[in-house]
Structure 1
Amino acid sequence: MSFCLPEAFAVPKLTVHPEGQLVDGQWFKLVCLVEENLSEASLRYGFYRNGIPLQSPSHHSDYISESACLADSGPSHCKVTGSKVRKCSNQLHLSIRRIPVSKPELIIQPRKKLIEGDAGFLICSVSNGSLPIYYQFYKGSSMKLYWELSNSTKLVYNIEGISRRDKGMYHCSVRNEVTGPLHSEEVEIIVIVPVTDAVLISRTNGTEIQPGDRLVLRCLVREGTEPQFIWCRDNVPLRNGSASSHVTADGGELVVHSFRRDNVGSYHCAAINDGTNGTIFNVNSDYIEFTLRARSFSKEIAASLVPVLLFGGLIESVWFIHRRRDTGNSSTVSQPKRSQASGEGAAAGNLEYAVIGAAHNAGECH
């Protein structure tokens, strides 16, 4: 144990700034003051806590701590050396009060929306609190993911390769020797799964559509977060709400109310969804060609002509009967009076006329 002799310069006095109760993390300064130095000797100052040097002796009469901690608690003093004389100051007892930890804040980096496969970070931080701090990360209300005792006011939890299983609500909690645990507000991780494998399905049999029939097409994707759909005919986007067709509320179904020539063409659908930073994912389905089926008119024409033919036949029959009656009356001619000289010749001539007239009438009724 060294002894300080009262000569050459006055006994130093140790003070602390600011005065009063020091708290954990607070800036403070120890000052070793010598009021008189009669010998005008060059003085060197040393600072000690619990007899242990805080730094090597120097010409600086103060010792500065940027952040008080629990280890700064206890008795402190300073020693002054000059002209082979050393003098000790009074002892100053420092008491560092522990600071309760503040409510933590949880943030997600680089953003709350993450594309499947990206890396994500959960950062739990506090504005103040005595170290060390015990951190815990949770998914949902009680599923513990990670915990650590740290000498920092923030802790990072890495999620390597975000998957759709990682979507959900997260929070963190903190505590120290003074208070806790305190929980952060919940934050949500949204995982975006890009759309893949669009498939076009027809709910109508075949690709030849009967005029006036209903055509229903469905667009499906194997996976994808909140997909949106675009419908095209011959690579031209279809406008929703047209007179001939409409798209269902989810956008995944196209309905053509009454198929006609204007609806003939090659159909396909495109599925899209939004990524991050303005990126867009999209996939196209295969094409399906729909044509208009030609009507079979033979049966329809025959069926429509039966009444006409029956009515025409009836008219022809009536005409034939009437014509035959008129023909019969005209063939009954007055025979010329036979002369005795020419009786046989006239009879023969009348017979020929009747045969010719009969043959003529038969030709008109065929």
Structure 2
Amino acid sequence: MLFLAILLFSYCQMSQHIQKTTANGKEMLSNPKLVLVQGTLNVVMKQNVTLSCLSEPGSPPVRYTLFKHNQQVSALNRSDLTPALFTLTISSASDMGEYKCKAEYNNSSGGKYSNSLNITLIEPISKPVLSSPTSQAKKGQNVTLSCFSENGSLPITYLFFKGTQNISPQKTMQKREAAVIFLFIDSLSDFGTYKCKANNSFPNNTKYSNAFNFTLAEERSHSQPLIISLGLILLLLIIGFALAIPFFIIPLYKAKKFKSTRPSIGLTSTVNAEESENEVIYSEIEPVKPEEEYINFCVIRREEEKGNLEDPDLTENTCTTKLLQ
């Protein structure tokens, strides 16, 4: 039984070996492996990157070809079992992208492709901006701080400080958005200077933000609204009084002054026929009461002569005032 088991195992191994052997006696290639051997996949301009491609097992010689997005970049032949090394110099954005390699025997159809590696360009971050929705706070209030760097390759890591003391764990943002922390203002010591810093995979590229300070908000007393209301009422009264002066007070004053200076006496007129027929002489008479009605009439006094009363000779025209019964 043991002999039969060993014989069966040997037959299986031989069958697998026969299946991996090509028609010309070479062993079939396996899918090659593409690995990074020098540099990083997150690169900066003018950086060199070395990639290794190897298919094992396989029978040399083997041809290895490097592709970027299905476009051939370079090809190498290996007469032994050493890997093919491809060195790339990143000089433009077109050098970024997905890379694969292909392993094949010379003058043979087909071939096997490797895994893919993605090379990306990293950019230095810009100076982050530290901000808050409010700059004033009072004791017992919750506030927020946000730190954001507009430019730079993702991901970006943020860290918050108060003075020189770290006040939060690192926050790594995979998207282009701000890192936010929440603070509780418990005492006056919380009204210090805050800052944040940001960095990414770009070497030696840590940037610090502007300084931000919370100021203590003044608490309003209950008497302040009353004082403000009284002030507004007083202001309205002053404005109303100022508007009343030209429209009401001045006209009323002028009317009273005119009434007090108007003469309340009657007038008499005397016509001296000897001097002129049209000359009228006014003389003062006793004032009359406003509630009584009077009538003015002229009495033509003629000389007391006997004879005809219609004598045209006039000695005096006298106007007087007589109470109307």
Shorter-normalised TM range: 0.3 to 0.5
Give the structure with higher Rg (CA). Answer: 2
TM-score, normalisation: structure 1: 0.43
TM-score, normalisation: structure 2: 0.48
